[in-house]
Structure 1
Amino acid sequence: MEAPVVNVGILTEKAVSFVFNDEYVHTETGTFLTGEQRALFVNGKIVFNGKLYNELFFEPTFPEASFDLKAVTIGRHFHWQRKEDQRFHGALNLVSGEDSIIAINQIDAEEYLTSVISSEMSAQASKELLKAHAVISRSWLFAQVEKSSLLSNTRKKHQSCFRDKEQLIRWYDHEDHAYFDVCADDHCQRYQGITRVSTPIVEEVMRETRGEILTDGEHICDARFSKCCGGITEKYENCWEPVPHSYLTTLRDCDKGLDFPDLTNEAEAEKWIRTSPEAFCNTHDASILQQVLNNYDQETTDFFRWKIEYTQKQLAELIHRKSGMDFGAILDLIPIERGTSGRIIKLKIVGTRQSFIIGKELEIRRTLSETHLYSSAFVVDKKDYSSDIPQNFIFTGAGWGHGVGLCQIGAAVMGANGYSYKQILAHYYPGTEIEKRY
């Protein structure tokens, strides 16, 4: 079998500037194009070369042809968000969305994954870490395509939000995408075309793992991963839809029989977060971190345990702006429910004007930060009271990301310590098997 083709959403803009570095053909008109191009969104249509379209599809005339997309936003909503020009192989599809043009790259899955491996982490990473990531990235991709197909064949509407007068519970997942299979940013998997130059070892890793996926015996595994679990991984259902996945469960990120604290208990969670327990991902080894963290990720210096401080004015204004609700002065932030890694699933915000519960973990992280808090595994110290209102808040937290599945920094340490990619996968996805699909 050949590798399937995937559709990757790259950007959504009112105006899209792009360059055909080689000859491309506009399939609808048969026109051959090279050089700089520009498309504009006007009154629900795409204006291109003086004509109106609902969709434009440009196909390369030979496999090595490439095109550039200008000013692609990477790290959307993260503290290091920025724009960069990116280069891609494959076809370019421009679709008229609700209020913008959606630029989509149609590309061979293995070429897509080669870029993902080089975009998600350094192409200088250890071979075993790269092989593990190749398998989980391929598994995650095909699991999402499979899931979308199942959803499209059922009348059941996908639900990712519940709200009443007392709470808002929302999670963010792949089903948000209607025009393509996956997006190119951290919401799915980082994909930056051939901008992130791969190396001979990445090419070798892709050949050696070609077509390999994880299964649980019945289905392709939805192989989630995050930067740093903080010492214990989180269950899938605590971050996304309430459907347990046996292989996305809680485990201690080490190879020793250490105590397994119950971090759903508030006292245990606080003790865990305020200390620095032994774990694969508890490392400051620069040579290991450089394997996982690209240049912009390295702007984050503390991730296993971290602190952030807000004044009352800063926090109240931030929550008001992010939630759209006026709490007045913030009196308290109370964890209502924690997951197995200590990440807060439901958080009660108590203000002088109202109280409200929010969840799940990403909604909490987005509400309490200009971008994202590193994780929702945190405790809060309130200080400097005036008229019974705290004037300063100190967040002490653990981990970076949702903490489900493979911990990238922990896996990098395992690779450096001589573990094979199969051992790494068996550690983070217990009960799974590797299967070669093509």
Structure 2
Amino acid sequence: MNGHNRHEKIEIQELPTFYRFPFIKVNVIDDVEQIDFLLSGHFTVEDMTGECGLDSLIGEARWRVAVEASAPAKFQYGISIHEFFQPQQAEKLAGKLQGKGYEPKIQTFGYQWQLGEDRRFKNSSYRVFLDGFPTIREARRIQRHLVDFYQPTIYKYRAREARGVIEMFDVNYNQSIKCSGPIKLTPRERNSVISLLNILGRSDVMEFPDLYNIQFRINDIGKLQCVAEMDIEAYVGGLLTVQYQENYPDSYLETLAITMRSWVAANWGRLHKGEAYQFCSTDHCYYLSGLGTQPRRVLDIVKETKGFVLTCEGEICNTPSHLVCGGHTEKLENISDSDPKSYLKAFFDRAGYEPPPEVPVRLDNEEAIEIWINSKPDVHCNFSRKKDVENFQKFRQYFRWEIEYARHELEEIISKKTEEEIGTLYDIIPLKRGKSGRLLEVEILGSRQNVKLVGDQAVREAFAEERLPSSCFIIRTEMDEHGIPTAFVFFGAGNGDGIGMCQLGAISKAFSGQPAMEI
């Protein structure tokens, strides 16, 4: 795995049968008013309470599902303080927090299942958190008292579920069903196919053959979401299809299949606690565009690697990846509020993990990071130095990147994302960087108030409509004649949080002839 500690015992192990492994539930579509779909085959349709439904749907027909009426969920804020892999450690921290006057809680994530007749795998973790804050400002006030001792991150959770009515009907309105809960379609025979049409105004089709079931639900903002349930190998094939390019070497595709399968097994039940699904189809997890037409090479790779996962010291490895590390990966505990993993460390993305000669050894200070971002070091994911490899533009554009905002434009984004009115934006001050130079804490200086941001995700989201490619960046401020900022230019390195495998670095290794295990 690209970027792991070479002294750790990382192995590929075949687990050909996942005994009692739960089906994967994936949120494949979210935040839409309606979904059109085609059915081919025989299906049972019912709401999740079993109160209303159609006995069966047979044959090919076009259907639509839509929200008739809804009320969005109501939210409060919580602070995730730390995630442990041993319950005793979580209980110890909770006791310390109680001694300081807080009211901490412990939440268990994960799942346990059989990997063989006499072997079990348990991926449980234990999160210590505070909740019940009515506003993000209240949560930030408490976060400031904890940040010197922990790496607390703020999250939003539902205090009241969304409610509404979903209607499903065929285009001729000969058959219809209307429910106050989710609607579930279950195939009653093999080779049945559900095809989702015109997703988000696009002309493409998302096909889901041989599903366990598919569900239409009301999401937190009162719109539709679609959750598909499937086998783990079908899910891996769908993920690999999204990533696939014809010119990828087989060793890279094998690497992706094994690391994706390992990541799914290690994170089942941990990433979307309290949701109706375990994984989403965004860059928070992995994009999924259906399970229909898959390239022959993808089918062959999934079949050849079926059941193979990465293990370390007898446990399945949590194997995240990101598009481009920018030349240096980051260690898990700097990005996540969790215990470290021995195989998720921070390294230069090059042979021997040694720094290139033209850059500083340490990147966690401002002088070093400016040199780093303004350089083009000889690392695996710098394709501008590789003359024998095709131009992977979707990757290369993020090795080093630049984004510019007018001051008023950035002020509006910050206000929207932080829910704080900062007034005139004067400066953005780096406070703490990780091993890769990624920003872990910053302070926004405004005429009305200052706002402190903690965590890679909070930093990336505060300065973009969605999020910045990476938190490894420096800022150049342009001033008017009175010394007031007029524009802010972000210069950055990489795309993603830097944890785990750098995909472009892995592609580079594959082109150089390295097999999957070495990658």
Pairwise TM-score range, normalised by the shorter structure? 0.7 to 0.9
Which of 349, 352, 371 aligns to 1:271? It is 371
Counterpart residue number, 1:24: 43
Residue aligning to 1:258: 354
Matches within 5 A, 1:169-248: 174-175=271-272, 178-194=275-291, 197-248=293-344
Do the aligned partners of 1:7 and 1:104 also contact (CA within 8 Å) in 2? yes
Q: Secondary structure at the match of 2:415?
A: helix
Count of residues in Structure 1 that have an aligned counterpart in Structure 2: 384
Q: Radius of gyration: which is bigger?
A: 2
SS state at 2:478 partner: strand
CA distance in 1, matches of 2:506, 2:353: 18
**Alignment match, 1:158:** none
Would you say the 8 A contact 2:442–2:454 is kept in 1?
yes
CA deviation map 1:29-50 (0-9, x unaligned): 4312441112233342322314
The equivalent of 2:119 in structure 1 is none
The answer to whether 1:38 aligns with 2:64 is yes
Any conservation in 1 of the 2:42–2:56 contact (CA below 8 Å)? no
Q: Please give the per-residue CA displacement for 1:7-45, whole angstroms capped at 9, x wherever unaligned.
A: 111123343322213332326543124411122333423
1:317 and 2:412 correspond: yes
Shift of 1:419: 0.6
State the shift of 1:318 in Å: 2.2
- Cα deviation 1:63-102 (Å, max 9, x = unaligned): 332212234359xxxxxxx784311121312234453343
Does residue 383 of structure 1 match 2:408? no
Q: Residues 72, 420 of structure 1: CA spacing in aligned structure 2 closer, same or farther, 3 A cutoff? A: same
The corresponding residue for 1:58 is 185
Pick aligned residue for 1:404 from 499, 503, 508: 499
- For residue 205 of structure 2, what is the aligned residue in structure 1? 85
The answer to whether the 8 A contact 2:272-2:279 is kept is no
Q: In the alignment, which residue of structure 2 is the partner of 1:360?
A: 455
Q: Tell me the CA shift for residue 128 of structure 1.
A: 0.4
Q: d(CA) in 2 for partners of 1:278 and 1:122?
A: 25
Say which SS state the counterpart of residue 416 (structure 2) adopts: helix
**For 1:362 and 1:84, how far apart are their aligned partners in 2?**
31
Q: Work out whether residues 375 and 402 of structure 1, in 8 Å CA contact, stay in contact via their aligned partners in 2.
A: yes
| Aligned-pair Cα RMSD in Å | 2.5
Q: CA deviation at 1:394?
A: 1.8
String of CA shifts for 1:394-437, please: whole Å, max 9, x gaps: 2111111111100000100000000110001xxxxxxxxxxxxx
> What is the DSSP-based 3-state SS (H/G/I as helix, E as strand, rest coil) of the residue aligned with 1:92?
strand
Question: Gapped runs of 5+ residues in structure 1?
Answer: 75-81, 149-173, 425-438
Q: Which amino acid in the other structure matches residue 231 of structure 2? A: D
| 1:257 CA drift (Å) | 5.9
The whole-number CA distance in structure 1 between the counterparts of 2:274 and 2:28 is: 12
Aligned to 1:160: none
Q: Secondary structure of the residue that 1:222 maps to in structure 2?
A: coil
Using the aligned pairs only, state the percent identity: 26
* Residue identity opposite 2:61 in structure 1: G
- Could you say if the C-alpha distance between residues 92 and 421 of structure 1 is closer, same or farther in structure 2, counting changes exceeding 3 Å? same
The answer to whether the 8 Å contact 2:325/2:381 transfers is: yes
For residues 395 and 500 of structure 2, the distance between their equivalents in structure 1, rounded to whole angstroms, comes to: 21
Contact 1:23 1:32 in 2 (8 A): yes
- Asked whether the equivalents of residues 23 and 61 of structure 1 are also in contact (C-alpha less than 8 Å), the reply is yes
Q: CA deviation at 1:122?
A: 2.3
Pair 1:116-2:252 in alignment: no
Structure 1 residues 282 and 185, CA gap change in structure 2 (3 angstroms):
same
Misfit runs of 4+, over 4 Å = 285-290, 298-301
Deviation at 1:240, TM superposition (A): 2.0
Change (3 A) 1:198 1:85: closer
Counterpart of 1:163?
none
Alignment of structure 1 residues 120-199 onto 2, 5 Å: 120-122=243-245, 124-145=247-268, 147-148=269-270, 174-175=271-272, 178-194=275-291, 197-199=293-295
Q: CA deviation at 1:106?
A: 1.2
The one-letter code matched in structure 1 to 2:57 is F
Match of 1:393 in 2: 488
- When normalised by structure 1's length, the TM-score is 0.81
Give the TM-score normalised by structure 2: 0.69
Could you report, residue by residue, the CA deviation over 1:207-263 in whole angstroms, capped at 9, with x for unpaired residues?
121111112224322211000001110111222223211111111111146337211
